[in-house]
Amino acid sequence: MTHLLSVEGLTKAYPGVVANDGVSFSIAPGEVHALLGENGAGKSTLVKMIYGLVKPDSGAMTLNGGAYAPAEPRAARAAGVAMVFQHFSLFDALSVAENIALGMENPPRPSDLSARIREVSHTYGLPLDPDRLVGELSAGERQRVEIIRCLLQDPKLLIMDEPTSVLTPQEVAILFETLRKLSAEGTAILYISHKLEEIRTLCDAATILRGGKVVATCIPRETTAREMAELMVGATLMTPKAAGAAPGEVLLSVEGLTLGAASMFGTRLQNVSLDLRAGEILGIGGVAGNGQDELLAALSGERRAPPGAVLFRGRPVGALGPTERRRLGICSAPEERLGHAAAPDMSLTENAVLTGTVRKRLAGRGFVDWTAARRFAEEVIAAFDVRTPGPANAARSLSGGNLQKFVIGREVLQAPDVLVVNQPTWGVDAAAAAAIRQALMDLAGKGAGVIVISQDLDELMEVADRFCALNGGRLSASRPTAGLTIEEIGLMLGGAHDMEVAHAEA
C-alpha cells in the first residue's frame, strides 16, 4: 500500500525543550491513525508542522509521493490537509454559514454555500442548520461546524485534535460513523486523543509519542488500553482506589437554586437541588457550558444566592462570600487554571495565599505571613509531586498538569469538609490525572464530601459514588454509579442533538 503522507525524522526544538526529536511515521489513504501521548509529548507540535503552523528544524515530509513543506496553513489546505482544532474558532454572534464563509478563500454565494453545507452535512450524517447562530449551538454542534468547514475543502487528510472531549456518548457515536464513512471513501484521518478505548474502537494504527520521540507503534485493536497507557507514560499505572467509607450525614445541600447566566452565552441555573453526604463523591456530568461554571461559582461563593438555597450542615450559607465559606470548610477549584484558580504572573507562594489565608492561617491581623505561605506552597509541591524548581516560580511557568496538581493540592491540604472541583483533570496527562483522582478519593475517605463536575464520564464512573447530569442548567436526580451503563448516562445527559436523523443516515 502506498502512503498518503509520510513523515521522516521531523525535529523541532524550542528554547529549553525538544518538542519533536526525529519523529517518523506514515499514513495510508483511508487509514485512521491515532497519535497518542501525554501532554507535552509533542503531539500538538507534530500536527502543527503537518498543518503548516510550525516549521520543522529538520526532517522531511512527503504527501502523495511529492515533497511537502507547507509554509502556512493555506498551503496545507491547498494540498488537501485539513484540521479540526480542540478549541473552536467560531463567532457566537454569526450564523453557521457565515462562520464557514469566513474561513474560505473564495466563499460562494450565501445561498449556494447553505445548500453545500446542507448537502455535506446530510451525506456524512452531521445534521446542521446553516442559518442558526453559533452561540445557540451545543459543543457537539459547534464541532460539526468545524468538521463541515474542513469537509467542504474535500481533504485527503483530516487531522482531529481531541475531538470527543466535548461530546456526549451519543454524539461520539455519530462522529465515529462520520469518520468511518470518510475513511471508507479514502480520506485518511490523523486522530489525537487521550481516550484509549475510543482509539481501540476507531483507529487502524497508533503512533505513541513520549518526550518528543516515537516510543512505540501498535495496532490498537490488538492492544489493551492499559498497555497503551503504560507505553504513553513509560511506567506502570496505578488505578485509584476508593477507601470505601460509608456515607454519613448531609454536609451540603442545595435547594431550588436558580441563578442567572454568568455571561451572554452562559447558562442559567434552573431549580437545581442536590445533597452531598460526608464521605461520598458526587459526580456531576455534562458537557461544559451547561451551567458548570455557574454551579461552581454558586457553591464557592463567587456568585451569591438566596441564603437558604445553599445549606452547609443545615446552616444557610447562600449569601456568604468565598472567604466565609472557606472558614466554614467549603473549598473549591474552578475549571480555568490560569486566571481563575491561579493568578498566572504570581509565584506559587502568592498563589498559595489566594485561597489559603483562612484555613492555613497565612495572614494575621491583616498581614500576610509570607514564611508560612512559602511553607504551605512547598507542602503542596511536595505532597502532590508538582514539578517546578520551587515556590518562587510563576504559575504560568508550570505545565497544565502540574499547575492543576498544585491547585487541587492547595485545596485538599486545607482539609475541607466539602470540596467542589470543576473539570479536575481537563488537559492533564494520565499520571497526573490518576494522582488527582486518588487525592479526591482519599479526601472523601477521610469523611469529606466531594463534588466532581466533569465532562469526562470515565472519570466520573471511576471516582463517583453517585452520578447526576447537568444539562441546560438543570440538574437531574442522582443515581448510584454502580450498575449505571454508558447508554443510561447518555440519556441522562439529554442524549445527542438530532440523533434520529443521524441514525437514518447511518
Partner 1 sequence: MIRLEKRPSPSRFWTATTPLLAVALTMVAGGILFALLGKDPLEALRTIFWDPLFHPQFASYSRPQLLVKAGPLILIAVGLSLGFRAGIWNIGAEGQYIMGAIVGAAAGLAFYPSGSPLIFPLMVVAGALGGWAWAMIPALLRVKFRTNEILVSLLLVYVAQNILASAAVGFLRSPEGGGFPGSRNLSQWSSSANPELITGTGMHWGVVAAFIAVIFAYVLMSKHLLGYQIRLAGQAPRAARFAGVEPGRLVVLCLSISGALAGLAGLFEVTGPAGQISIDFNSNYGFTAIIVAFLGRLHPVGILLAGLLMALTYIGGELAQFMLGLPAAAIQAFQGMLLFFLLGVDVLSNYRIRFGRRSVA
The residues that touch partner 1, with contacts defined as CB under 8 A, are 15, 54-55, 300-302, 321-324, 326, 332, 334, 336, 339-346, 350, 353-355, 357, 363, 366-368, 370, 393-394, 396-397
Give 483's DSSP letter: T
* Minimum distance from residue 370 beta carbon to partner 1 (Å): 8
Residue 275 CB, nearest approach to partner 1 (Å): 25
Burial (CB count within 10 angstroms: exposed 0-12, middle 13-18, buried 19+), residue 74: exposed
Min CB(348)–partner 1 separation in Å: 11
Q: Which residues of 326-353 are buried (b: 16+ CB within 10 A; e: fewer)?
A: bebbbbbbbbebeebbbbeeebbbbbbb
Q: Compare residues 366 and 483 and give the one whose CB is closer to partner 1.
A: 366
Closer by beta carbon to partner 1, 60 or else 338: 338
Question: Which amino acid is residue 72, in one-letter code?
Answer: E
Beta carbon nearer to partner 1, 96 or 413: 413
CA gap 347, 234 in Å, rounded: 31
In the bound state with partner 1, the residue whose beta carbon lies nearer, of 306 and 322, is: 322
CB of 66 to partner 1, least distance (A): 23
Query: Do strands 66-67 and 81-84 pair parallel, antiparallel, or not at all (unpaired)?
Result: unpaired
> Toward partner 1, which CB reaches closer, 285 or 318?
318
For the chain, the 3-state helix, strand and coil shares in percent, each to the nearest 5, are: 35, 25, 40
CB of 162 to partner 1, least distance (A): 22
State the minimum distance, in angstroms, from the CB of residue 52 to partner 1.
11
For residues 370 and 412, what is the distance between their CA atoms, to the nearest angstrom? 20
What is the rounded (10 degree) CA torsion for 472, 475, 477, 483?
A: 70
Q: Report phi then psi at 272, rounded to 5.
A: -85, 130
Q: CB nearer to partner 1: give 215 or 363.
A: 363
Per DSSP (E only), the strands in 85-210 are 157-161, 188-192, 205-210
> What CA dihedral angle connects 69, 72, 75 and 80, to 10 degrees?
80
For residue 214, the one-letter residue type is: V
Closer by beta carbon to partner 1, 326 or else 466: 326
Nearest residue (CB) to partner 1, 152 versus 373: 373
> How many of the other CB atoms lie within 10 Å of CB of 303?
17
- The least distance separating partner 1 from the CB of residue 363, rounded to whole angstroms, comes to 5
| Dist. CA 22–CA 273, nearest whole Å | 54
Closer residue to partner 1 (CB): 135 or 344? 344
Q: How far is the CB of 334 from partner 1 (least distance, A)?
A: 6
Q: Residues 20-48, buried b or exposed e (16+ Cβ, 10 A)?
A: bbebebbbbbbbbbbbbbbbbbbbbbbbb
- Spatial strand order of the sheet with 32-36 comes to 81-84, 157-161, 188-192, 32-36, 205-210, 213-218
Q: Are 320 and 306 in contact (CB under 8 A)?
A: no
| Nearest-approach distance from CB 300 to partner 1, in angstroms | 7
